[in-house]
Structure 1
Amino acid sequence: MRDDLPNYFFRVRENGAAVFRVDTENRQRRIEMDQIAAVNIKNGEVKPHGDRTLSDEDMDEIHGWMRERRVTLGKRDMDDIYRTVDHLNLTTHWIQSKAHEDQLEEITDTLLLAMHDLRSVLVRKKADRLMKAKKKAKR
């Protein structure tokens, strides 16, 4: 099993990861993880841990992980949005078929404001995309 372990381990944090170098080639034949860096996925910052100097191999691994992580997070974002659409549809069904008047009274204004805000942003973003496409077409 030890031969199958990767050379690096990324402990995911909210905005990135702590990066560890995995070592199994020691006298005790134990798995050791030595923190070498901290990564901020949002701004791309890589901070060596302590007074370490990161090798080109370290940086290649870190940048590769960051690329993969951004793809993963992007997929999760889209999945969340599709779940939101499903939830909106389920909410509509609940309102239409099951909600009591007191429940509707409690949630109507908040839901209407959230939907109005969402609609406003979607319309503005759609208009921006259409204007960009129109400008490109003129070139």
Structure 2
Amino acid sequence: MPGDLPDYFFRIRENGAAVFRVDTENRQRRIEMDQIAVVNVKNGEIKPHGDRALSDADLATIRDWMTARTELLARRDIDDIHRAVDHLNLTAQWAQSKATDAQLNAVTDALLLAMHDLRSVLVRRKADRLMKAAGEG
């Protein structure tokens, strides 16, 4: 039937999700969602909800979702960094061509400190990688 629902629903939370089993096979033909677990993608923890015992199928589906979610979040992190580079370039263009003195006064110190901090971290991490590569080579 078109529009068949999945067997599980993952309600996204800060560090993971609440996991629900979806049931449409009841007399009223209503969608029922029964919470079966809470998962934390940061530490890999899967906690059954209440006194439930999770089946092997439940655990396999949850682990597959956790793997996919972790990969999605990693891709988003990199995409956010690429957007930050774009924003830095747009900020430079704005500062050079459009910003008023008052606008620059409002943001210059915060931008300089943030850029100095970022530069320090990037230089230190690059030096670490170069030293490690030199030690391996």
The answer, yes or no, to whether TM exceeds 0.5 is: yes
Residue 90 of structure 2: aligned partner: 90
Distance 1:104 1:28 in 2: 63
Q: Deviations over 1:43-86 (max 9, x none)?
A: 11111000001111111000000000011111111111111101
Residue 40 of structure 2: aligned partner: 40
What letter is aligned with 2:60?
D
TM-score (norm 1): 0.93
Question: C-alpha displacement at 1:115, in angstroms?
Answer: 0.2
Question: C-alpha displacement at 1:135, in angstroms?
Answer: 2.1
Residue 7 of structure 1: aligned partner: 7
Unaligned runs of 5+ in 1: none
Give the % identical residues. Answer: 72
Question: C-alpha displacement at 1:102, in angstroms?
Answer: 1.8
What is the aligned residue count?
Answer: 137
Residue 16 of structure 1: aligned partner: 16
Question: C-alpha displacement at 1:91, in angstroms?
Answer: 0.4
Q: State the SS of the aligned residue for 2:116.
A: helix
Question: C-alpha displacement at 1:8, in angstroms?
Answer: 0.7
What letter is aligned with 1:13?
R
Residue 114 of structure 1: aligned partner: 114
Distance 2:13 2:2 in 1: 25
Alignment of 1:39-58 (within 5 A): 39-58=39-58
Distance 1:106 1:11 in 2: 40
Unaligned runs of 5+ in 2: none
The answer as to 2:28 corresponding to 1:28 is yes
Residue 81 of structure 2: aligned partner: 81
Distance 2:26 2:100 in 1: 67
The answer as to 2:71 corresponding to 1:71 is yes
Q: State the SS of the aligned residue for 1:4.
A: coil
Task: Report the RMSD for the aligned CA atoms in angstroms.
Answer: 1.3
Q: State the SS of the aligned residue for 1:66.
A: helix
Q: State the SS of the aligned residue for 1:21.
A: strand
TM-score (norm 2): 0.94
Q: State the SS of the aligned residue for 2:111.
A: helix
What letter is aligned with 2:19?
V
Q: State the SS of the aligned residue for 1:109.
A: helix
Residue 124 of structure 1: aligned partner: 124
Q: State the SS of the aligned residue for 1:6.
A: coil
